[in-house]
Amino acid sequence: MPLFGYVWFHCHPYVMWRRLDRRRVVMLAREVEKEVQKRRKAVSRMKELVKGLLLLRVLKEGSRHGRLVSYSKALGKSMRLAHEWAKSWFSEP
């Protein structure tokens, strides 16, 4: 008799639905976590890329003037460019 009660309770539609609901929530949480990890990786890659672009820009500006006196000017310019680029890149869906 207790076995029947156990089976009846665990196969009851409400209990099954709640269990399914919990599974769905867990699956959604996992998907969200994966998406967050992807975004974090993309952002870190983007940061590395921007650093590389800034360095290239600074070196290019310095070599154009024949010296690296204009380092801060070049850095300011490249920071503005990188900021604009990042804004446009992240605004796209």
Per-range mean pLDDT, top range of 25-34, 66-75, 79-88: 25-34
The predicted structure's pLDDT at residue 14: 73
Confidence category of residue 1, pLDDT binned at 50, 70, 90: very low
Confidence category of residue 75, pLDDT binned at 50, 70, 90: low
pLDDT at 2 exceeding the cut of 60: no
Mean pLDDT of all residues in 56-78: 63
Three-state secondary structure along the chain? Answer: CHHHHHHHHHCCHHHHHHHHHHHHHHHHHHHHHHHHHHHHHHHHHHHHHHHHHHHHHHHHHHHHCCCCCCHHHHHHHHHHHHHHHHHHHHHCC
- Average pLDDT over all residues of the chain: 72
What pLDDT, in 10s, does the model give residues 6-53? 566 667 777 777 777 777 888 888 998 998 888 888 888 888 887 777
